Amino acid sequence: MFVASKLPQHLGKSGWVEMLPPRAPRAPLTGTVNADIAIIGGGFAGLSAARRLSQLDPSLKVVVLEAGEVAEGATGRNSGFIIDLPHEVSSEDYGGSGSNERRHDIQVHRMAIALASDLALEKGWGKDVFDPCGKYNVAMGPQGDKHVASYAVQLDKVNEPYRLLDAREIAAVTGTTSFTSAIFTPGTVMIQPAAYIRGLADSFGDPIRLFENTPALSLERQGASWRIKTPNGAVNAGKIILANNGHAQSFGLFPGVLLHVYTYASMTKAFDPSRLGGERAWAATPAFPMGTTVRRVRGDDGDRILIRSRYTYNPRLQVTEGAIARAGRVHDRKFDARFPMLRGVPMEYRWAGAMALTWNGVPAFGEIEPGIFAAIACNGVGATKATASGIAAAEAALGMDSWLVQVFRGFAAPKRLPPQPFLTIGATANLSVKEWSAGIE
């Protein structure tokens, strides 16, 4: 039996959720239900797995258990980039390994985008929810300029299109002269992550059943099936897809291989768009991977700026209000440095979001117990990689040997982490050094 030692906790109000009208969550589970497949986790991985299962076999009885409410967890705290190109936040240059591996990554990422694109078409979403607009990597100085140029060389090696922008050209996009150069890549899709995942959740009807505010408390093998206990009920399922990212470790699974890292975001109050020139909606990742992500979000009540920066290692899977406040002070400085014309526009929302990384940057994937299939470890690119791993887990659970399943099975096993206290000391120092190296970026 696997018993959860703790349940997810989420601090700070996500601006993405707060911008949306209230939503009535699905009722929690009461009593006992039976399912062909149970999915633990209602984020990118879990709900993508559910959608893929419904595509492959519409008759399957699928139960999805979400510990809280859809979009309140890490998915609704995401910055909303579904990135098609290599983008390893823990790397030195986003690029990953060799050209062949990068091409594989691109194919995998575009399968995730295809699932999201089909959903957007089906739901008739506008650009406020799903915008295939591409993204920018922006630099703020010579160090960043070098990374932009290096990224262009890498994209040449895999024959991917891009456009380089000088300081004047990126200023025309962003409305600020703070950036010295940029590279635009057209394949990224930008989403409003809370609206996206809510829409995906609310697209399901029988025989897919979603139960919110229903944490899985224990997993117990019973003959050829599994019994999942919840606070007021239970699920008897032939198979389980584990899609709760770092909280898989709460069940004693993947011991010593998951790095629990939190990142932080702040979002301004809506401001008069005339205060900032350029385009009213754009998205930029930093030239240096551990730098600052920026989005301008267009709204009916005005525009907002999102700043995401700061990384902390939190092995206990929780952060404090103090950590959010400290990150917020960093965000305020970064906001003022990039948008001096908006000085005085206050931040309205601040929040933290969890990531699960592995030391060697691979997913924790596959059949880890008879009938339990894991789609764990987003490695900092949750919208893309968690979606893809959810698709692959669904296919694997149905016994498929698809190209995507083969790719995920072909990854090396997650590398074991050093023991404590060396892990905490090393991880904290490593994050600090990388953030310091990013400098003004």
Domains for the chain: give ranges and CATH numbers.
Answer: 2-438 (3.50.50.60)
Does pLDDT of 89 surpass 50? no
Compute how many other C-beta atoms are within 10 angstroms of the C-beta atom of residue 422.
10
Let me know: does 365 contact 345? Beta carbons within 8 Å: no
Q: Which residue has the higher pLDDT, 211 or 154?
A: 211
E-strand spans in 197-301? 208-211, 218-222, 225-230, 233-242, 258-268, 282-286, 293-297
**What would the pLDDT profile of 394-440 be if each residue is shown by its tens digit?**
999 999 999 999 999 999 999 999 888 878 888 888 887 777 666 77
Write down the mean pLDDT value for the chain.
94
Per-residue DSSP letter, 275: G
φ, ψ of residue 431 in degrees (nearest 5): -65, -40
Highest mean pLDDT among 97-111, 114-128, 370-384: 114-128
Whole-number Å distance between alpha carbons of 152 and 164: 8
State the average pLDDT over residues 202-228: 98
pLDDT number for residue 102: 84
Nearest one of 64, 72, 31 to 46, comparing CA atoms:
64
pLDDT number for residue 90: 42
**What would the pLDDT profile of 40-69 be if each residue is shown by its tens digit?**
999 999 999 999 999 999 999 999 999 999
State the average pLDDT over residues 111-131: 98
pLDDT band at 113 (very low <50, low <70, confident <90, very high): very high
> What percentage of the chain carries pLDDT values higher than 70?
97
Whole-number Å distance between alpha carbons of 197 and 140: 33
Q: Which residue has the tokens 């070098």?
A: 146
Whole-number Å distance between alpha carbons of 208 and 2: 25
| Least confident residue range of 169-173, 329-333, 379-383 | 379-383
**What would the pLDDT profile of 279-323 be if each residue is shown by its tens digit?**
999 999 999 878 999 999 999 999 999 999 999 999 999 999 999
Which amino acid is residue 322, in one-letter code?
G
Does pLDDT of 10 surpass 50? yes
